[in-house]
Amino acid sequence: MYNCAHVFSGAGYHSESKAKEYKHVCKRACQQAVDQLKAGALAVEAVAAALVELEDSPFTNAGMGSNINLSGEIECDASLMDGKSLHYGAVGAISGIKNPVLVANRLLSEAQKGKLSAGRIPPCFLVGRGAHDWAISHGVPPCPSEKMATKFSLSAYKRNKRKMELAEKMDPGHNQTKRRRQSSRNENCSECLDTVGAVVVDMQGNVAAAVSSGGLAMKHPGRVGQAAHYGCGCWAENARNMNPYSTAVSTSGCGEHLIRTMLARECSTAMQSEDAHQALLEAMQNKFISSPFLASEDRVLGGVIVLRCCRCVEPQPSTNVQGSLVEFLWSHTTESMCVGYMSAQDSKAKTHISRLPPGTVPGQSLAIEGGVCRLMNTVD
């Protein structure tokens, strides 16, 4: 029996003053996923439920309270992957939808039904107005963008807008292209990188992963981050053929860095090694911090959560015990990352704000931690 969930409320900077709120939303998301799993839900349904909980929190940069872009609008990205079927659904730069992950999940489920009329291939990734219209036509309720803004996101937008205006006054030669470049530099500060995500394994051992984000603060309209890109925001793959482990990964951080390294898929591939902790450490160091694709970057900002599981039969004196080993790991190069994890055997979720070791530099150093859940069932 598996039924485990692992979530995060972003890799970036988590102030001590809001630590309680960050941990609380992670606990609720874990509880929501595990409750669904106990009721018999599949991994994809449970991971979507966890994401809805995270998107609805005003303290996360996803769904409600998402970052506001240069035009004063909210545009969100989200994706979901099913480790059993390997299907994937995603939306990018979508406005007017409170829970983008529900659209991604609906895209995934519709694609599993097969071809459309006249043999057309169903979409797995939609963006902008087309994504919004598709969502409405498939029963996902709309939500006006102004209702998705919170006092926190509005305050941040006004603060960032003042900074940009001040910078332009100090340098009258600042043209629009330079202003956007300045904005991009400001966005990449680690306190802004707080995508949310979850990874889940259900009773049958199927894994799923999902991720959702409002994107970088003051981003250019139409920008799509890693949360929507295949192999970059999330990855899930059941054990099969030569792969003994089922793995699910979700990422957070600077979308451009995560896209150029396809970090979610890279970490999933690395997890087939026997030592999960060492494998993740090497993947983060070699495939991310020291990646040749990011050689020009001063700071490489990102974080991942990983769920890895396998079945094993351990002989005992009087009987055999079938064990389910589930490993939860997380790693980040940002200042901090808030995570939570829970199994069906736990009365409540464990939560933790992981921080870089003192004296280390965000974007150049990394933290890595994890936990193990061993679930045993007696078999004849």
Q: What is the pLDDT of residues 337-374, one digit of tens each?
A: 999 999 999 999 999 999 999 988 998 889 999 877 66
Q: Is the dihedral of CA 15, 60, 42, 44 positive or negative?
A: negative
Lowest mean pLDDT among 170-184, 194-208, 302-316: 170-184
Q: Is the pLDDT of residue 299 over 70?
A: yes
DSSP state of 243: B
Task: Give residue 1's pLDDT band: very low, low, confident or very high (50, 70, 90).
Answer: low
Distance (Å, whole) CA 200 – CA 329? 13
Q: Is the pLDDT of residue 312 over 90?
A: no
Lowest mean pLDDT among 74-78, 103-107, 126-130, 363-367: 363-367
DSSP state of 371: E
Paired sense of beta strands 367-379 and 88-94, if any: unpaired
Residue 271's identity, in one-letter code, is M
Please give the share of the chain, as a percent, with pLDDT higher than 70.
Answer: 88
Count of Cβ atoms closer than 10 Å to residue 150 Cβ: 15
Identify the residue with better confidence: 255 or 319: 255
Compute and round to an integer the Cα radius of gyration of the chain: 20
Q: What was the pLDDT predicted at 245?
A: 96
| CATH of region 4-147+193-376 | 3.60.20.30
Which residue is associated with the tokens 């949310």? Answer: 196
Distance (Å, whole) CA 339 – CA 368? 12
Q: What was the pLDDT predicted at 185?
A: 42
Mean pLDDT for the stretch of residues 98-108: 98
Q: Is 65 left (phi over 0), alpha (psi -120 to 50) or beta?
A: left
Q: Is the pLDDT of residue 69 over 70?
A: yes
Q: How high does pLDDT run on average in the chain?
A: 89
Nearest Cα to Cα of residue 377 among 317, 313, 312, 322: 322
Q: 198 forms bridges with which residues in the sheet? A: 7, 210
Distance (Å, whole) CA 275 – CA 289? 20
Candidates 60, 150, 177, 195; catalytic one: 195
Q: What was the pLDDT predicted at 3?
A: 87
**Most confident residue range from 11-25, 96-110, 185-199, 359-373:** 96-110
Residue 195 is a catalytic residue: yes
DSSP SS3 for 374:
strand
Count of Cβ atoms closer than 10 Å to residue 233 Cβ: 35
